[in-house]
């Protein structure tokens, strides 16, 4: 069945209409004098293909007619994860193809414009039809995709968009997984199979982010790249604008300050280098609290097509002992987190985004990692604007098997990194690319694999940010961290090993940090450490899963961090920001409970402990920056 689903997607890609253009640039859809944006968010019709083959919907060609004509439909919010919407546990745990459709109208005054249909993300495989004609496919669950639909759209009446989404994870997907089939009909129902996950979080699925229609003129801005540096008190801005649809007749480029003042203006230059005198730099908010997250805007006008690209001026560098932002040492007071909403899976939720940034600042955190997949663009916008540093991570989580390091996986991994960098390359908040989380980097196959993925990432990113992957390997057996610029290490002494024995933490963590340092003369961030804790569960002396144990556990790690943070340790990131959902298993009680906040974003005792530490260190770090 798995091969059939994969083959089905590949055949669908091959059969795509030749006159429908998939776009190379992936600029976020913004209204301007030349562009109009329309949302298709809302309640869509929804139906799962529950046939034993998960293929009957393709046999019956559901895309050729309204979905409600194929059988009973549900109403499903877009964006959302379909898993946590209904009361049907079969749908919550469904693996295979699900289908969405809705009607939409195109304004008649769009007749001379390019009309683009854009999906913020759909997990995992997606095929899109408009009026029964296939217009695009996408392989990968966390990044945007779009295409021009002028050839198939109706300007004088209703249109129908149909989307098929498949959440199956296979050895070559990111993250990887496999399917397990049971054929003993005395013990299992006919056609019984399960999705085997190699990740420790729930495989939420559906159309997770916004769906937009937007327009551009026929000659249009396809892509913008901005790379910044600093010279004395001036900002140096290198920009490149790519256009399409014909030769541009006129080009105007302006840099506008946050206050709306034009500080630079150029004509007829699609690429170049400009200087911002007396530049205001982008700083993390705990480093320069009077002016965090300062953003400029590059205003581009090409033959009347106008796009405004926000950016910040800052530099990032790594020495053998430090992580530098704008030439000054930066210490990450961070959180690992998931994008999950309270009980609604991974669908975009503005209220939750606002709450998360409020709670990160309440904790005193100045950075987070997009564990373990790219987050929504609207989340990244807030990181830029609020001065929160980001380690931007690919969905390469759980790569624990030899078959996850083959040529198909490698090609897909490179494509995903290209898409991620294309989307987030202009963001000042993004200071490090992480290509994977906890891969089996002790396997011989991992050496060449990560050499190639990391080299590809460096080649694609013109800003040359540091590149890493997050490891849980033992330093004597690892073969791939030799290629990273900065070491990111996950450790759970006193939890997964020597459970309940916090007295071993300082000894074991110190030996481990010194071991990594002896092998690689590179700075280190502890990207995960934590203990599962049920909110409100108390026992003294402390016992695992109580709030007392989480506090003692975290405190022992902090003592070790303090020993090394003036040497080569450049960051600490608790795991995790909040509790989050996992698959059903006996070691998890309704999800992972390592959060210092509950899933409803309320602090446990450890949240108060972390807040006291982070605020104290933030104050001392700010004073250090101001004196250097």
pLDDT score recorded for residue 7: 40
Separation of first and last alpha carbons in the chain: 62
Quote the CA–CA distance of 586 and 389 in Å, as a whole number. 35
pLDDT at position 288 is: 59
Which 3 state secondary structure label does DSSP give 344? Answer: coil
DSSP codes joined into one string, 190-238: TT-EEEEESSSS----EE-S-EEEEEE-SSEEEEEEEEEEEETTEEEEE
Tokens of 186: 């005395």
Torsion of CA 185, 186, 192, 198, to 10 degrees: -130
Rounded to 10 deg, the angle between the 505-519 and 547-564 helix axes is 40
Give the predicted TM-score (pTM) of the model.
Answer: 0.92
Tell the burial category of 50 from Cβ atoms under 10 Å away from its Cβ (0-12, 13-18, 19+): middle
How distant is the alpha carbon of residue 127 from its chain centre?
21
In the predicted model, residues of the chain with pLDDT beneath 50 are 1-23, 623-628
Confidence at residue 12, expressed as pLDDT on a 0 to 100 scale: 39
What was the pLDDT predicted at 16? 36
DSSP state for residue 397 in the 8-state scheme: B
The span from the CA of 512 to the CA of 172, in Å, is 32
Alpha-carbon distances, residue 120 vs 80, 357, 391 (angstroms): 12, 21, 20
Residues 6+ apart with CB under 8 A from 213: 37, 38, 39, 40, 104, 106, 115, 116, 117, 118
- Where are the extended beta strands (E) located within 339-497? 367-369, 389-393, 430-437, 467-471, 487-490
DSSP at 176: -
146, 339, 377, 438: the active-site residue = 438
pLDDT tens-digit map of 526-584:
999 999 999 898 999 999 999 999 999 999 999 999 999 999 999 999 998 988 777 77
Round to whole Å and give the CA distance between 497 and 501.
Answer: 9
Q: Write out the DSSP string of 530-599.
A: ---B-TT---SS--TBSHHHHHHHHHHHHHHHHHHTTTTEEEEEEE-SB-B---S-TT-SSSB---SB-T
Model pLDDT for residues 392-425, shown as the tens digit of each residue: 999 999 999 999 999 999 999 999 999 999 999 9
Q: How far is residue 308's CA from residue 280's CA, in Å, rounded to a whole number?
A: 19
Alpha-carbon distances, residue 357 vs 283, 380, 388, 601, 603 (angstroms): 16, 11, 9, 11, 14
DSSP label at residue 125: E
What pLDDT, on the 0 to 100 scale, is given for residue 621?
A: 59
Q: Which domains does the chain have, with CATH numbers?
A: 36-167+203-216 (2.60.120.260), 220-314 (2.60.40.10), 317-627 (3.20.20.80)
Name the token pair of 490: 């996950």
Cβ atoms of 369 and 336 closer than 8 Å: yes
Query: For 305, phi and psi rounded to 5 degrees?
Result: -85, 120
Nearest to 150 by CA among 126, 125, 122, 131: 131
Query: How many beta carbons lie within 10 A of that of residue 156, not counting itself?
Result: 8
Peptide bond into 618 cis (omega under 30): no
The span from the CA of 198 to the CA of 496, in Å, is 17
Q: How far apart are CA 585 and CA 601, in angstroms?
A: 24
Q: How far is residue 381's CA from residue 613's CA, in Å, rounded to a whole number?
A: 27
Q: What is the separation of C-alpha 63 from the centre of its chain, rounded to a whole number of angstroms?
A: 30
> CA-based angle 227:141:349, to the nearest 5?
80
- The conformation of residue 502, written as its DSSP 8-state character, comes to G
The Cα-based distances of 198 to 58, 201, 398, 473, 596 in angstroms read 29, 9, 5, 16, 24
438 is catalytic: yes
3-state secondary structure of 115: strand
What is the chain's length? 628
Look at residue 23 in the predicted model and tell me its pLDDT: 45
Beta-bridge partner residues of 468? 434
Residue pair 553/514 in contact (Cβ under 8 Å)? The answer is no
- DSSP collapsed to 3 states, 520-539: CCCCEEEEECCCCECCCCCC
pLDDT at 1: 44
Question: What pLDDT digit, counting tens, does each position of 60-115 carry?
Answer: 999 999 999 999 999 999 999 999 889 999 998 999 999 999 999 999 999 999 99
Alpha-carbon gap, residue 333 to 335, rounded angstroms: 7
Concatenated DSSP letters of 278-305: TPPPP--TTTSTTSTT--EEEEEEETTE
Q: Which 3 state secondary structure label does DSSP give 373?
A: coil
């Amino acid at each position: 069945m798995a091969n059939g689903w994969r083959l089905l997607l590949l055949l669908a890609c091959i059969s795509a209409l030749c006159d429908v253009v998939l776009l190379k640039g992936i600029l976020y859809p913004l209204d301007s004098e030349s562009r109009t944006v329309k949302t298709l968010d809302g309640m869509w019709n929804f139906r799962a293909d529950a046939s034993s083959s998960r293929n009957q919907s393709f046999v019956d060609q559901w895309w050729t007619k309204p979905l409600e004509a194929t059988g009973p439909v549900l109403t499903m919010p877009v964006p959302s994860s379909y898993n946590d919407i209904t009361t049907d546990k079969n749908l919550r745990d469904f693996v295979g193809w699900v289908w969405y459709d809705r009607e939409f109208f195109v304004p008649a005054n769009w007749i001379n414009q390019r009309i683009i249909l854009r999906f913020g993300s759909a997990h995992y495989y997606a095929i899109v039809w408009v009026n029964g004609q296939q217009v695009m496919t996408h392989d990968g669950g966390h990044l945007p995709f779009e295409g021009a639909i002028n050839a198939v759209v109706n300007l004088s009446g209703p249109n129908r968009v149909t989307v098929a989404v498949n959440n199956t994870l296979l050895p070559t997907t990111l993250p990887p997984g496999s399917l397990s089939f049971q054929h003993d009909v005395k013990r299992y129902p006919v056609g019984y199979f399960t999705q085997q996950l190699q990740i420790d979080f729930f495989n939420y699925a559906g159309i997770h982010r916004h769906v937009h229609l937007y327009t551009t003129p026929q000659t249009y801005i396809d892509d913008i790249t901005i790379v910044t540096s600093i010279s004395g008190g001036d900002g140096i801005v290198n920009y490149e604008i790519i256009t399409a649809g014909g030769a541009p007749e006129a080009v105007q480029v302006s840099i506008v300050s946050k206050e709306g003042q034009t500080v630079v203006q150029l004509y007829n230059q699609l690429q170049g280098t400009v200087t911002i005198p007396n530049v205001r730099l982008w700083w993390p908010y705990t480093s320069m609290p009077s002016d965090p997250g300062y953003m400029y805007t590059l205003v581009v006008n090409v033959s009347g097509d106008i796009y405004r690209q926000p950016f910040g001026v800052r530099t990032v560098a790594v020495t053998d002992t430090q992580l530098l932002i704008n030439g000054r040492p930066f210490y990450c007071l961070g959180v690992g987190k998931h994008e999950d909403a309270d009980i609604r899976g991974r669908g975009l939720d503005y209220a939750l985004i606002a709450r998360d940034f409020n709670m990160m600042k309440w904790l005193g955190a100045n950075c987070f990692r997009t564990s373990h997949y790219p987050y929504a663009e609207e989340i990244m916008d807030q990181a830029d604007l609020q001065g929160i540093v980001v380690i931007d991570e690919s969905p390469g989580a759980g790569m624990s098997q030899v078959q996850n390091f083959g040529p198909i996986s490698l090609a897909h991994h490179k494509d995903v990194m290209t898409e991620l960098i294309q989307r987030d390359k202009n963001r000042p908040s993004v200071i490090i690319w992480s290509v994977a989380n906890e891969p089996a980097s002790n396997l011989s196959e991992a050496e060449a694999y990560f050499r190639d993925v990391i080299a590809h990432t460096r080649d694609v990113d013109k800003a040359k940010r540091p590149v890493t992957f997050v490891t849980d390997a033992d330093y004597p057996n690892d073969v791939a961290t030799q290629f990273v610029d900065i070491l990111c290490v996950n450790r759970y002494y006193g939890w997964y090993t020597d459970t309940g024995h916090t007295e071993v933490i300082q000894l074991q963590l110190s030996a481990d940090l010194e071991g990594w340092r002896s092998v690689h003369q590179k700075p280190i961030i502890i990207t995960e450490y934590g203990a599962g804790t049920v909110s409100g569960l108390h026992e003294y002396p402390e016992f695992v899963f109580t709030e007392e144990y989480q506090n003692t556990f975290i405190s022992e790690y902090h003592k070790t961090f303090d020993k090394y943070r003036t040497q080569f340790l450049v960051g600490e990131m608790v795991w995790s920001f909040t509790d989050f959902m996992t698959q059903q298993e006996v070691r998890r009680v309704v999800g992972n409970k390592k959060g210092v906040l509950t899933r409803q974003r309320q602090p446990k005792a450890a949240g108060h402990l972390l807040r006291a530490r982070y605020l104290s260190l933030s104050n001392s770090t700010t004073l250090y920056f101001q004196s250097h």
